[in-house]
Copies of this chain bind each other. A is one copy, B any other.
Amino acid sequence: MKIVVIGGGAAGLGAAGAAKGANPNAEIVVYTEFADVAYSPCGIPFVHGNEIESFETLFLATKEQYVQTGIDVHYETTVTSIDTDARTISVEGEGEVNYDRLVLATGWLYSDPGLAGSDLEGLYRVKDIRAAMEWDKVIEQSKSAVIVESGFIAMEMTSALRHRGLDVTLVDPGPYPMSDVADPEIVEPVRQQWEDMGVDLQWGNNVTAYRGNGKLTHVETDNGDVEADIAIIGTHKTPNNALAEAAGIKVGTTGGIIVDSHMRTSVDGVFAAGDCTEIPHGVSNVPLQGLSGSHAYAQGKTAGVNAGGAEREYRSVYVPWGMLAGEWMLGGVSFGEVTASALGLEFVTGTANGITRARYYPGVKPITVKLLADPASRKLIGGQMVGGEGIKERADFLGMMTRTGIRVDQIATMENVYSPAIGALNEPIAVAAQNLLAKL
């Protein structure tokens, strides 16, 4: 059997490895437009911020390792079309290539609102590691930057560029950072920190054009011009699905490929995984697009197992998330109050301000936990957190609570570890649940 994977990111490589595991005799070919696979693009902002020493450390495996595991990766190779009836793809420089099973893992692109000057030199769309290496030299020569919209990567780039000493202006149409995913009081410490760091924060403002003579010199906005050597494009992720759409594979309302629980697309023999798909949210059933690298990897593995002829299911997602934003960590699961309200969900909230270790133990950090529950079922529908440590683990916890439908009553009486150096007497998740219950 020949399994072809289009895309060399977390989903594509996850699929290739899992397909080989499920079917060791299968021929596995991966096509990627890029010069590399198997690196961690999520690390790029931290190299720019000098938190990580070099881009080289982001590579997970060498090309030789893929050869040895029997996965044939074709680098810098563009697939131009798919014929799902003939089960072939057209590959630049290779012609028609047949497949028995195809996995689409074509990933995402930054949403492009088509502004004037979008092709100027100086607009940085953080994504590819080779480009990042070149951009790092540009950053070194730059004095000023505009961050266009406060998505996850843009948030990390804001901290990174201030570390590098650039003047940074953040232009975002929302009223506060990450307003489409986070509640205002949760993200406030991050906003305050950037203000303290001297970032020029322009909320409720829109970029309207990029100007310059070949190279960016300033960004036009609703509220006037901002001089900038570079602009970091932090617009939303959109699925990279031109190939799939042209081949007649069904995409959903988000533009993501519609997949079933086995990551099968609408066309027989074709699977999809990662940021090019859409996945139903477990609470709302709203299709979601543009999840995390761990989702892409898990979806890829599911697609690969099934493409290889074994069986694995992928479930609805509840999307625990987390990130470092300067000195703070942000995280949560599913929805905050803003999103839940927008979706018309009924909910009750409970918030607790706590600490991560005993109050007197060195390194103790503040942490705020806000929970949302359905008043009828008393099950969690989401949560948001900001704090100094332990956010990723708590987001995973809340993810599992939401997914398994554990009631707030149970969370309110959870047992927790108390040991001065690693945990406080009161777990803030439990206290938030107690405060929520008090309102029911």
Query: Measuring CB to CB, which residues of chain A are less than 8 angstroms from any residue of chain B?
Result: 10, 40, 42-43, 46, 51-52, 57-58, 60, 292-295, 297-298, 315, 317-324, 329, 331, 358-362, 389-397, 399-401, 403-404, 406, 410-411, 413-423, 425-427, 429
| Apart from A58-B360, A400-B400, A400-B414, 17 more pairs, CB < 8 Å | A40-B360, A42-B418, A43-B360, A292-B417, A292-B418, A293-B418, A294-B427, A319-B415, A322-B419, A323-B419, A324-B422, A331-B422, A390-B392, A390-B393, A391-B422, A393-B423, A400-B410
Measured CA separation A395–B40 after assembly (Å): 28
Asked if A417 meets B42 with Cβ closer than 8 Å, knowing A360-B58, A362-B51, A390-B392, the reply is no
Chain B's nearest CB lies how many Å from the CB of A39?
10
In the complex, which residue of chain B has the Cβ closest to the Cβ of A291?
A: B415
Measured CA separation A318–B417 after assembly (Å): 11
**Which of chain B's residues have a CB closer than 8 A to the CB of A295?**
415
Measured CA separation A77–B389 after assembly (Å): 42
In the complex, which residue of chain B has the Cβ closest to the Cβ of A319?
A: B415
The contact of A358 among B42, B297, B317, B329, by CB within 8 Å, is B42
Contact in complex: A360, B57 (CB < 8 Å): yes
Chain B's nearest CB lies how many Å from the CB of A305?
12
**Which of chain B's residues have a CB closer than 8 A to the CB of A401?**
400
Chain B's nearest CB lies how many Å from the CB of A249?
26
Measured CA separation A34–B395 after assembly (Å): 41
**Which of chain B's residues have a CB closer than 8 A to the CB of A390?**
390, 392-393
**Which of chain B's residues have a CB closer than 8 A to the CB of A323?**
419, 421-422
In the complex, which residue of chain B has the Cβ closest to the Cβ of A405?
A: B404
Q: Which of A46, A294, A315, A331 gathers most chain B CB within 10 Å?
A: A294
In the complex, which residue of chain B has the Cβ closest to the Cβ of A324?
A: B421
The contact of A46 among B43, B400, B420, B427, by CB within 8 Å, is B420
In the complex, which residue of chain B has the Cβ closest to the Cβ of A414?
A: B400
Contact in complex: A415, B403 (CB < 8 Å): yes
Measured CA separation A429–B320 after assembly (Å): 15
Sampled A-B contacts (27; CB under 8 Å): A40-B425, A42-B418, A43-B358, A43-B361, A46-B361, A46-B421, A51-B361, A51-B421, A52-B360, A57-B360, A293-B418, A297-B418, A298-B415, A319-B415, A323-B419, A323-B421, A324-B421, A331-B417, A389-B389, A392-B417, A399-B415, A399-B417, A400-B406, A400-B414, A400-B415, A403-B414, A403-B415
Chain B's nearest CB lies how many Å from the CB of A295?
7
Measured CA separation A413–B322 after assembly (Å): 18
Contact in complex: A320, B396 (CB < 8 Å): no
Measured CA separation A415–B329 after assembly (Å): 19
In the complex, which residue of chain B has the Cβ closest to the Cβ of A418?
A: B294
**Which of chain B's residues have a CB closer than 8 A to the CB of A10?**
425
**Which of chain B's residues have a CB closer than 8 A to the CB of A324?**
419, 421-422
Asked if A413 meets B43 with Cβ closer than 8 Å, knowing A361-B52, A422-B391, the reply is no
Measured CA separation A421–B362 after assembly (Å): 21
**Which of chain B's residues have a CB closer than 8 A to the CB of A298?**
413, 415
Q: Which of A58, A317, A329, A423 gathers most chain B CB within 10 Å?
A: A423
Measured CA separation A400–B397 after assembly (Å): 9
**Which of chain B's residues have a CB closer than 8 A to the CB of A60?**
359
Q: Which of A322, A396, A426 gathers most chain B CB within 10 Å?
A: A396
Contact in complex: A392, B419 (CB < 8 Å): yes
Chain B's nearest CB lies how many Å from the CB of A414?
5
In the complex, which residue of chain B has the Cβ closest to the Cβ of A294?
A: B418
Measured CA separation A432–B319 after assembly (Å): 21
Contact in complex: B396, A415 (CB < 8 Å): yes
Contact in complex: B403, A322 (CB < 8 Å): no
Contact in complex: B406, A404 (CB < 8 Å): yes
**Which of chain B's residues have a CB closer than 8 A to the CB of A399?**
414-417
Contact in complex: B43, A294 (CB < 8 Å): no
Contact in complex: B413, A315 (CB < 8 Å): yes
